[in-house]
């Protein structure tokens, strides 16, 4: 059994807003749903599968009702919650449901407003009494990974800075990007230290916004007008300290989700023309590139240096919308925009200055949770037909 | 600073109550599985490695080395250093480093447990040995 080629991404929409104090969170979900439905050229009454995560107010049934989805037709729902990579997992689950005949047109939505106000806290896990007092946040949890990666492999702040530099080179062409200025390695190193060894410019932005996808069958996709983009491989995985044995914060669950996706797709990292890699922090990108097999473990620093991630300059163009480091990070969850930019690249709809030539194979990869504590990862490999 | 910072009291539950009762006596406890011999942290009744229910409480030495750390430069309660300590007994535990110069922490540095009060049971932290 495989989902290879069983599902196509027929509709994408990224909300242009980066700050939405004048809108409700549910409204943003509706606006991105409408955008993806119109991009695909279908009717909302055709949707028979709905996928959402923890950002959807009230969860699946209030959202299905609010969005006015056709409940006589809707026959598959999935509210898998794995933080920022939820939507990459949803993409795989939608393909599984489509392959099994459980739905034929799936809608996936993400939206929220962390820039406008504080997000509701996540429910506590069994670890709460043994961890919550220590103040793990995204900044310091990823700082702990970077600190150990530097210790074990000699990775430097300069190398991490190159990831931000590459993202900024792409963001200058994105009219919606929050940070459009091209920055240098020195700019990153001179920005204030937030949580050692991560500087402010090693961190992503905080933004309101959202995005949505329409995933459908090959037959329906071919009946629509958009360029054809199909899912050919998918993987998901989780990792945590697991009782504290052999703790190793220098790799992520991507070390398992990546090979699963590549095996299903029947390709290798060398075949990838464009990579959307979750960039909550520069270290997130570096570790995931290693884990996915774009370079050996410990060699991520050398791999990302000297513009290797800049479109038209380096060997692996990444996050050509500017990513979370420069463009947006809706709801503190980067998975959705990673898929959307990968689809733009495969359709040939990326900005001409960053469009990868002959882009026929792309990867969208993300993590959710905290790499320095416990997290999920998901990998999707997409092909232009 | 860590002297004045107010830490939340553990909620505790039947599975972990013995840990917090021991903490009140200044003892830092881990769980060890008598079936596979592995120690783990935080404590569970079922061994996360072999799934045996033959886990027993063991007082740990409270000594270990810093696996990694990060100094959070700003927060509403001031700077703090979070990290993991690999205990002599094996498991690595998440913690804060206290009562020391937070800018001079080093991976591999020897540290020891120290308890800080809450409105309930005290919480374990680590400080240079």
- What is the structure's pLDDT at B1? 45
Query: Contact, A379 vs A362, CB < 8 A?
Result: no
Query: Contact, A16 vs A31, CB < 8 A?
Result: no
Residues A181, A174: Cα–Cα separation, whole Å: 11
Nearest Cβ partner for B72 among A137, A245, A247: A137
- B22 pLDDT band, cuts 50/70/90, is very high
Q: For B63, phi and psi rounded to 5 degrees?
A: -110, 145
- Closest to B87 measured CA to CA, from B115, B129, B52: B129
What ipTM score was computed for the predicted complex, to two decimals? 0.96
Which residues are B86's β-sheet partners? B65, B92
A341-361 pLDDT, tens digit per residue, is 999 999 999 999 999 999 999
Per-residue pLDDT tens, chain A, 385 aa: give them: 899 999 999 999 999 999 999 999 999 999 999 999 999 999 999 999 999 999 999 999 999 999 999 999 999 999 999 999 999 999 999 999 999 999 999 999 999 999 999 888 888 899 999 999 999 999 999 999 999 999 999 999 999 999 999 999 999 999 999 999 999 999 999 999 999 999 999 999 999 999 999 999 999 999 999 999 999 999 999 999 999 999 999 999 999 999 999 999 999 999 999 999 999 999 999 999 999 999 999 999 999 999 999 999 999 999 999 999 999 999 999 999 999 999 999 999 999 999 999 999 999 999 999 999 999 999 999 999 9
Interface membership of A49 toward B (CB under 8 Å): no
Question: Tokens in use for A300?
Answer: 């991520």
Helices (H) and strands (E) in chain A, counts: 13, 11
Residues A223, A352: Cα–Cα separation, whole Å: 27
Return the residue matching tokens 């009219």. A175
Interface membership of B90 toward A (CB under 8 Å): yes
Which of B82, B93, B97, B119 should be substituted to probe chain A, the one whose Cβ sees the most A Cβ atoms within 10 Å? B82
- What is the structure's pLDDT at B6? 87
Query: Contact, A326 vs A179, CB < 8 A?
Result: yes
Using CA atoms, how far residue A254 sits from A133, A170, A205, A286, in Å, is: 28, 24, 23, 12
- What is the structure's pLDDT at A120? 80
Interface membership of B17 toward A (CB under 8 Å): no
CB–CB contact B90 A145 (8 Å): no
In A, which residues are within 8 Å of B44 by CB distance? 126, 243
Q: Give chain A's mean pLDDT.
A: 97
In B, which residues are within 8 Å of A373 by CB distance? 94
Q: Determine how many CB atoms are found less than 10 A away from the CB of residue A261.
A: 27
A174-222 pLDDT, tens digit per residue, is 999 999 999 999 999 999 999 999 999 999 999 999 999 999 999 999 9
- What is the structure's pLDDT at A232? 98
Residues A225, A228: Cα–Cα separation, whole Å: 9
How much of chain B is in helix, strand and coil states, percent to nearest 5?
10, 40, 55
Does residue B2 surpass a pLDDT of 60?
no
For strands B110-116 and B123-128, give the pairing.
Answer: antiparallel
Residues A139, A116: Cα–Cα separation, whole Å: 20
In A, which residues are within 8 Å of B92 by CB distance? 241, 244-245, 247
Residues B85, B109: Cα–Cα separation, whole Å: 9
Q: At what angle do helices A282-292 and A157-171 cross, to 10 degrees?
A: 100
**pTM for the whole structure:** 0.97
Which residues are A369's β-sheet partners? A375
Nearest Cβ partner for B91 among A145, A195, A244: A244
């Amino acid at each position: 059994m495989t989902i290879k080629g069983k599902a196509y991404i027929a509709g994408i929409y990224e909300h242009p807003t980066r700050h939405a104090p004048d809108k409700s969170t549910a409204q943003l979900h509706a606006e991105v749903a409408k955008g993806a439905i119109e991009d695909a050229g279908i009717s909302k009454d055709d949707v028979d599968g709905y996928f959402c995560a923890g950002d959807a107010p009230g969860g699946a049934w209030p959202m299905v009702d609010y969005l006015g989805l056709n409940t006589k037709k809707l026959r598959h729902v999935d509210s898998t919650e794995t933080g920022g990579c939820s939507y990459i997992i949803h993409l795989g689950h939608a393909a599984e449901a489509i392959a099994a005949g459980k739905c034929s047109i799936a809608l996936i939505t993400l939206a929220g407003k962390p820039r406008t106000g504080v997000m509701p806290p996540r429910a506590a896990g069994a670890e709460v009494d043994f961890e919550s007092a220590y103040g793990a946040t995204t900044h310091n949890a990823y700082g702990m990974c970077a600190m150990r990666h530097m210790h074990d492999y000699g990775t430097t702040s300069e190398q991490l800075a190159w990831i931000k530099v590459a993202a900024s080179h792409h963001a200058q062409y994105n009219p919606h990007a929050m940070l459009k200025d091209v920055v240098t390695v020195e700019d990153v190193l001179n920005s204030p230290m937030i949580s050692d060894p991560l500087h402010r410019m090693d961190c992503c932005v905080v933004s309101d916004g959202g995005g949505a996808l329409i995933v459908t069958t090959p037959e329906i996709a071919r009946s629509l007008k958009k360029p054809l983009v199909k899912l050919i491989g998918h993987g998901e995985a989780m990792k945590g300290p697991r009782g504290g044995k052999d703790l190793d914060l220098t790799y992520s669950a991507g070390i398992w989700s990546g090979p699963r996706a590549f095996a299903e797709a029947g390709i290798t990292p060398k075949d990838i023309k464009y990579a959307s890699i979750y960039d909550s922090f520069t270290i997130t990108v570096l570790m995931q590139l290693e884990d996915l097999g774009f370079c050996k473990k410990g060699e991520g620093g050398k791999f990302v240096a000297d513009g290797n991630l800049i479109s038209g300059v380096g060997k692996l163009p990444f996050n050509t919308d500017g990513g979370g480091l420069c463009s947006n990070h809706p709801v503190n969850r980067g998975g959705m925009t990673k898929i959307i930019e990968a689809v733009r690249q495969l359709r040939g709809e990326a900005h001409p200055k960053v469009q990868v030539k002959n882009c026929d194979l792309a990867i969208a990869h993300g993590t959710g949770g905290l790499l320095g504590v416990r997290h999920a990862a998901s990998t999707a490999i997409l092909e232009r037909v | 600073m860590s002297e004045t910072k107010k830490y939340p009291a553990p909620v505790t539950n039947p599975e972990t109550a013995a840990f917090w009762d021991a903490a009140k006596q200044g003892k830092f406890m881990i769980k060890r599985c008598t079936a596979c011999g592995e120690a783990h942290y935080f404590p569970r009744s079922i061994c996360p490695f072999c799934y045996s229910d033959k886990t027993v409480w063991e007082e740990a030495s409270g000594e270990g080395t810093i696996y990694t750390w990060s100094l959070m430069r700003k927060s509403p309660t001031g700077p703090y250093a979070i990290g993991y300590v690999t205990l002599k007994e094996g498991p690595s535990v998440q913690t804060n480093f206290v009562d020391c110069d937070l800018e001079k922490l080093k991976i591999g540095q020897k540290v020891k447990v120290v308890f800080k009060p809450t409105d309930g049971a005290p919480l374990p932290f680590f400080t240079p040995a």
